[in-house]
Amino acid sequence: MGRVPADPYVRRMTLTTTTAAAVSLRGVSRTYGAGPAAVRAVDGVDLAFAPGTWTAVMGPSGSGKSTLLNCAAGLEQVDSGQVLLGDVDLARASEAELTALRRTRIGMVFQSFNLIGSLTAEQNVALPLKLAGRRPPRADVLGVLAAVGLGDRARHRPRELSGGQQQRVAIARAMVTRPDVLFADEPTGALDSTAARTVLDLMRSMADQGQTIVMVTHDPAAAARADAVVFLRDGRVADRLTGPDARTVADRLVELEH
């Protein structure tokens, strides 16, 4: 009998080598502007994110992290290459199909939470279902809020919640449609370290339950909670780590900035 690797990331990679990636990018490029002013924000990136893995994306400011995330989430078009969500090619999807995919199979979380201030936590979480033309079952909405530890905050408005709680509402809103992948762009960037920890704990348990997460971060301690780290420089994959620890991540980041 073969040995089962102790490291959960390695184990998952072993088990999923024959399974389709949750998301894959093949030769993806994205340029802004034209002529001499053109900026190639993402430059021929190949990446595959296995189901149930949490990957951190790091790199200097302007290295293309947000552009890469937005291309992977179908929020931005690629100039060339393929973005596959499971076996669906986002570049070949129509605008209507893309909108439907983004509403049902992709969850997005941003640094600034982007909650609607006039709506309660419960109403914010229900919004993606309403936008998808579904009548949100209250039990589902409250269930997702409970899952992020905010079962008793359903009627609170964003200003009545701490930053960490607001970000957990945003994660609940991203998860209510049960997306295949959660994309997060610096989700802890606006949080103090205690609030950041509650959000990272939540993401860790989601990944352990099989959710695929791709998270941009500047923070080596946050990246160390993920299963793997991808480092970008000038729009290209410059390095990768699996089973990261904060010290190694910080050292690699310093090397990249030089």
Ligand X SMILES: Nc1ncnc2c1ncn2[C@@H]1O[C@H](COP(=O)(O)OP(=O)(O)O)[C@@H](O)[C@H]1O
Is 233 a binding residue for ligand X by CB under 6 A? The answer is no
| Binding track, positions 60-89, relative to Mg ion; x by CB under 5 A | -----xx-----------------------
Per CB under 6 A, does 168 bind ligand X? no
Between CA 229 and CA 227 the distance in angstroms is 7
Query: How far is residue 57 from each of residues 29, 129, 209, 227, 242, measured CA to CA in Å?
Result: 17, 29, 21, 11, 12
Which residue's beta carbon is nearest to the bound Mg ion? 66
Task: Mark the segment that binds ligand X (CB under 6 A) among 60-68, 117-125, 155-163, 217-225.
Answer: 60-68
Q: What 3 state SS string does 66-127 have?
A: HHHHHHHCCCCCCCEEEEEECCEEHHHCCHHHHHHHHHHCEEEEECCCCCCCCCCHHHHHHH
Burial class (CB in 10 A: 0-12, 13-18, 19+), 243: middle
Q: Kindly state whether residue 53 participates in binding Mg ion, applying the rule CB under 5 A.
A: no
Question: What residue 64 binds from ligand X, Mg ion, none (CB within 5 to 8 A, per partner kind)?
Answer: ligand X
CA distance 194 to 201: 11
Residue 163 binding ligand X, by CB under 6 A: no
CB of 30 to ligand X, least distance (A): 8
Task: Report the candidate in 40, 174, 175 with the shortest Cα–Cα distance to residue 109.
Answer: 174
Instruction: Among 28, 51, 56, 64, indicate the residue that binds ligand X (CB under 6 A).
Output: 64
**Residue 59 binds to ligand X (criterion: CB under 6 A):** yes
Task: Report the residue from 53, 63, 120, 165 that binds ligand X according to the rule CB under 6 A.
Answer: 63
Q: How far is the CB of 85 from ligand X (least distance, A)?
A: 20
d(CA 150, CA 183): 21
3-state helix, strand, coil in the chain (%, to 5): 40, 25, 35
The interface with ligand X within residues 26-45 (CB under 6 A) comprises 32-33, 39, 41
- Considering only the stretches 43-51, 63-71, 88-96, 123-131, report the one whose residues sit in contact with ligand X under the rule CB under 6 A: 63-71
Contact segment (CB under 5 A) with Mg ion among 59-67, 96-104, 106-114, 240-248 equals: 59-67
How far apart are alpha carbons 29 and 144 in whole angstroms? 36
Q: Does 252 bind ligand X (CB under 6 A)?
A: no
Tokens of 244: 């990261």
Write out the residues near Mg ion by the rule CB under 5 A: 65-66
Write out the residues near ligand X by the rule CB under 6 A: 32-33, 39, 41, 59, 61-67
